[in-house]
Structure 1
Amino acid sequence: MRDININPIDNNGSIQLKFSFSGKRYSFNPIPGGDYKNKRDFKTAQAIATRIENDILADNFDKTLDRYRLIPKAPKVEYLVDLWDLWVDFLGLPERTLANHYRYVRQMIAKVNPKVLDTKWVKQWDLSPRTHRDRLGMIRACCNWGVAKGYLDANPYYGIKPPRKVAKEIQPFNNEEIKKILEGFDSLCPHYGPFVRFLLATGVRTSEAIGLQWKHIDFTRNEIVIKESLSKDLLGNGYTRIRKETKTGNIRYLNMSEGLRGLLLSLKKPGDTPDTLVFTAPRGGTIDADNFRERCWLKVLEAQGISYRQPYTTRHTMASHAIEQHISLTGLAYLLGHTDTTMVMKTYGHMINRPDLPDIPI
């Protein structure tokens, strides 16, 4: 019989023993919850490995591996949603964190309710490559924890690869489309005309424009400060919003053009206080981005014969016009609220310093 040498290995921080015997591979965690970097846990795992080696030599090997576990093997989990709940409960995350990606992944799992070893449902995901990768990564992490705790013998999602990221074509609005959009809003949804003009002129995120207050506009210095957003409250009913810092946590100051200054001055009313919202819904409340998109944005684009692009395209439009007008990359990154030019190059690199084809006589 060939000698078997078993050594503990690092499995994402936990301890795992892997070996082959009689044509079968074995892989298990001898100390559920153990830490590979913990000297006591590591030495205990080494002792268990030695015991397995001796039992094999003595023809007394326990193929179930139960004899070699430091504590009784955790009960098997049949459905992925049950393992997910155990994992999330173990993490002890704040409610606001749970209400974001963790909630969406659980909803996705619960809808299909796959068994923990059934990975076929992944092929049915209709998600963007980035979302696919992120959610698969979370499920992998859940199953890695399941292996470490003894609920699983191996991670069934380990070898699944996310789809290749396909670059999406940026389609900003051209000058003719901008003209049609503004005419459409003036005719069909005049209340939101100034709001759309502001989005196009500044390229701010929708939540930043929704949360803009008069105290953020200084007509003396002729500048707008963007430092907050009014984002959806993930713990709310879907309509409530909370005031928070911008997505990247940056503060930026935007110099107003003459046209933008005139637009904002025309909106200011005598009774407005510093905390009054600059842009509101038709009845005076906070703008709901989903209602705006469904009831006005889509309506105007259809009426004006413009192919649908989401309101976020106003941000791409400002950026593309800035590039065409030779605003520097660092300047554009600042206007968009990024700390460096990485995202600008990644998103708009195809527009920057684009060479002409050589002049070939054809």
Structure 2
Amino acid sequence: MPNLGQMKEIKPLNNNGSIQLKFTVAGKRYAFNPLPSGNYNDKRDLTIAQAIATKIQNDIIAGHFDPTLDRYRLVPKITQPKTLLELWDLWVKYLDLPEHTQANHYKWVRKMISQANPQITDTNWLFKFNISPRTFKDRLGLIKACCKWGLSKCYLETNPYESIKSPKDNHKEIKPFTQEEIKLILEGFDKIAPHYKPFVGFLIATGVRTSEAIGLLWGHINFHRSEIVIKESLPKDLTGNGYQRIRKETKTGNIRYLPISEELRSLLISIKPNPVNPDDLVFTTPTGKIIDADNFRNRQWTKVLKIQGVSYRKPYTSRHTMASHAIDQGTPITGVAYLLGHSDTTMVIKNYGHMINRPSLPNIPLN
């Protein structure tokens, strides 16, 4: 084993402004640039290079020297980002997110940033997009987090988005379908698209999310116990081509058991195959394929509502409809939250608070 006293100390050398380490091991000479973009006149770079030189020397003495030098290489210094898009890409790469996560909100924020291509401290561009207050708040939150990380990495001196506030969200009145509208909708599907009538009836009766109904399997329905377990959904695979779907847990990760009413039992029995394969979907297209929510909305839902004279609302309104009618019929808000798959009553109170324990005006004589 070499003796430290017999070795020449390895020191960083100035190689036309860059940093180089020169040393000999077992008769072989090495000329090594430990920092590909390092500057000899940069004290920080020189300190790092000296630390690497010391590590090499210690490894030689201990007999652990790596002749490939891979153990001692540093990645090139990252160029200072000049645009928000460059900073965003660095941040997302640092987060090392799963592909599915990147394909969701992060993808849309990046697309928005890419379209405007603002400088790293420019914030005016954000107000030029016609997006809802909720979307603005969500995307601003991600951009703030990105710049907070940039601040910690000394890419920014201040976070220019820190003081920006989201516009006030003018809460839109929820207009659930009335009993008469429900009747018209179901009659319309019976006449125009009868194959989808059970699917629509199930959405209205249970208030499940569309992706949960699309992903429901016969194995999730227990007729003996009169209950349906909602534990999975079949949303679009955001990493795919837009048509593929991926089976996953429900949006909130909750599992809930919905009681089967007599009307719901009749609906399900009317489409129940014999024999039943528990792994088969309950609701499909007429050709037995997975229902595409967008196609269903554009081709069947919109057409039926127009013909039946029902003012247009999205299929998601079926969820509001179940919740509203449940509250009207005296279901406690904790029960409504459970049926909707929420972990607490926050969203129920926010959306339907105006319907809960609505007081009557006092009896005041006016004559």
Which range, TM-score by smaller chain? 0.7 to 0.9
For residue 77 of structure 1, report the CA deviation from its aligned partner.
Answer: 2.6
Q: Is the counterpart of residue 203 in structure 1 residue 207 in structure 2?
A: yes
Q: Which amino acid aligns with 1:122?
A: L
TM-score, scaled to structure 1? 0.77
Deviation at 1:270, TM superposition (A): 1.8
Alignment deviations for residues 229-283 of structure 1 (CA, whole Å, 9 cap, x no partner)? 1111121111111111111222211111111101101101224311111100121
Q: Is the 8 A contact 1:181 1:300 kept in 2?
A: yes
Equivalent position of 2:219 in the other structure: 215
Give the CA deviation at 1:153: 2.4
1:160-179 map, 5 Å: 160-179=164-183
Query: What pairs with 1:15-34 in structure 2 (closer than 5 Å)?
Result: none
The structural deviation recorded for 1:83 is 1.2
Q: Give 1:268's aligned residue.
A: 272
Distance in 2 (CA, whole Å) between partners of 1:79 and 1:335 is 46
Match of 1:292 in 2: 296
Moved over 4 A (4+): 73-76
Asked if structure 2 preserves the Cα contact closer than 8 Å seen for 1:74 and 1:151, the reply is no
Q: Structure 2: how far apart are the matches of 1:148 and 1:274? A: 52
Given residue 268 of structure 1, which amino acid in structure 2 is its aligned partner?
A: K
Q: Are 1:325 and 2:337 counterparts?
A: no
Contact 1:209 1:229 in 2 (8 A): yes
Show the 5 A alignment for 1:1-362.
75-360=79-364, 361=366
Q: How many residues align?
A: 291
Aligned counterpart, 2:39: none
Distance 2:348 2:296 in 1: 27
- Structure 1 distance, partners of 2:264, 2:330, is 20
Matched letter for residue 151 of structure 2:
V
| Residues 74 and 150 in structure 1, CA contact (< 8 A), matched pair in contact too | no
SS of 2:334 mapped into structure 1: helix
- Partner deviation per Cα, 1:293-336 (whole Å, 9 max, x = no partner): 11111111111222211111101101111111101222212211
**2: CA distance between counterparts of 1:339 and 1:157?**
32
Provide structure 1 residue ranges, at least 5 long, that are not aligned to the other structure. 1-30, 32-72
- What is the aligned-residue identity percentage? 65
Paired residue secondary structure (2:361): coil
Alpha-carbon distance in structure 2 between the residues aligned to 1:351 and 1:180: 24
Cα shift at 1:86:
1.1
CA distance in 2 between counterparts of 1:335 and 1:150 reads: 48
Moved more, 92-101 or 189-198: 92-101
Contact 1:77-1:152 within 8 A present in 2 as well = no
Preserved contact between residue 227 and residue 251 of structure 1 (Cα < 8 Å): yes
Name which of structure 1's ranges 152-161 and 292-301 shifts more when overlaid on structure 2. Answer: 152-161
| Matched residue SS, 2:92 | helix
In the alignment, structure 2 segments of 5+ residues that lack a partner are 1-43, 45-76
Counterpart of 2:246 in 1: which secondary structure? Answer: strand
Cα pair 1:74 1:149 within 8 Å, conserved: no
Residue 128 of structure 1 deviates from its aligned partner by 2.0
SS of equivalent residue, structure 1 residue 241: coil
Report if aligned partners of 1:230, 1:243 keep a CA contact under 8 Å in 2.
yes
> Match of 1:182, as an amino acid?
L
CA positional deviation for 1:152: 2.2
- Distance in 1, matches of 2:162 and 2:235, equals 35
Alignment match, 2:36? none
Q: Distance in 2 between matches of 1:170 and 1:192?
A: 25
Conserved in 2, the CA contact under 8 Å of 1:75 and 1:151? no
Larger Rg: 2
| CA shift for structure 1 position 202 | 0.7
Question: How far is 1:205 from its partner?
Answer: 0.8
